[in-house]
Amino acid sequence: MSKILDLRKKPAPGKKFGQPPLKPGEEVAVAQKATKTTQQLSPKDSPHIFWEAPSFYYNPQKRYLSVLIVALLTGAIALLIFKYSTLTSIFLILSSLVLLLYGNQKPTISKISVNQSGILVDDIMYNYKDLKSFWIEYNPGGPKELSIESAKWYMPYVKILLNNQNPVELRSLIISFLPEKEHENSLIDHIGRKLGL
């Protein structure tokens, strides 16, 4: 007659099918040995970098922005007085209002976390598999920022301010997951910095 095994019953830790039952003192020793083995096999804490930074670069001196808003409003008033184009003057007034509202916007504090799976900015996760490259812009006297390039062609570079975060430590973590490639600042980035946006 063949031997029937009940596979629904799980054996005690360290016990295999067909072995004699353990004595009460041996069960504790086997359980402790299994716990030690599990602790030794568990991976060390994964590298993790966390910091807080403003959501965008904020320049409180908005001299160029003020000049641009005044120039747009002056042009709009001149077009209305000389009755050249009402539609263009309305467009210039709306543009100056948008610049005024956007220029007075204060940055919020974002929580940034970089680990082995990706970069988390507040509630938005940028997984390494969805990114093409990264670059850390670090100019003495200027803002330090991490720039990441998405694999999606229609997405612009994502710029994350570093504040007091060590760029060397951050680079050593990200470079094992993403290639490093210099990201050139666009004309819009330069104009925005000059205007204080």
Q: Report yes or no: 93 and 115 within 8 Å, Cβ to Cβ.
A: no
State whether residue 47 is helix, strand or coil: coil
User: Is 114 within a domain?
Assistant: yes
Containing structural domain, residue 143: 110-184
Number of domains in the chain: 1
User: Is 129 within a domain?
Assistant: yes
Q: Look at residue 11 in the predicted model and tell me its pLDDT.
A: 54
Q: DSSP letter at 147?
A: E
User: Is 159 within a domain?
Assistant: yes
Residue 27, burial from CB neighbour count under 10 angstroms (0-12, 13-18, 19+):
middle
pLDDT of 74 strictly over 60: yes
User: Is 175 within a domain?
Assistant: yes
User: Is 157 within a domain?
Assistant: yes
Taking each helix axis from N to C end, the angle separating 187-195 and 63-81, rounded to the nearest 10 degrees, works out to: 90
pLDDT of 183 strictly over 90: no
Q: Which of 51-55, 61-65, 70-74 has the highest mean pLDDT?
A: 70-74
Q: Report yes or no: 35 and 14 within 8 Å, Cβ to Cβ.
A: no
Percent of the chain with pLDDT over 90: 5
Q: What is the pLDDT of residues 76-91, one digit of tens each?
A: 998 888 878 888 899 9
User: Is 39 within a domain?
Assistant: no
Instruction: Give the CA distances from residue 153 to residues 1, 173, 180, in Å, rounded to whole numbers and listed in that order.
Output: 69, 25, 18
Mean pLDDT of the chain: 76
Return the sign of the alpha-carbon dihedral for residues 188, 190, 193, 195. negative
Candidate from 43-57, 79-93, 110-124 with smallest mean pLDDT: 43-57
User: Is 12 within a domain?
Assistant: no
* DSSP states along 79-119: HHHTTS-HHHHHHHHHHHHHHHHHHTPPPPEEEEEE-SSEE
Q: What is the pLDDT of residues 23-51, one digit of tens each?
A: 555 554 544 544 444 344 334 456 788 88
User: Is 172 within a domain?
Assistant: yes
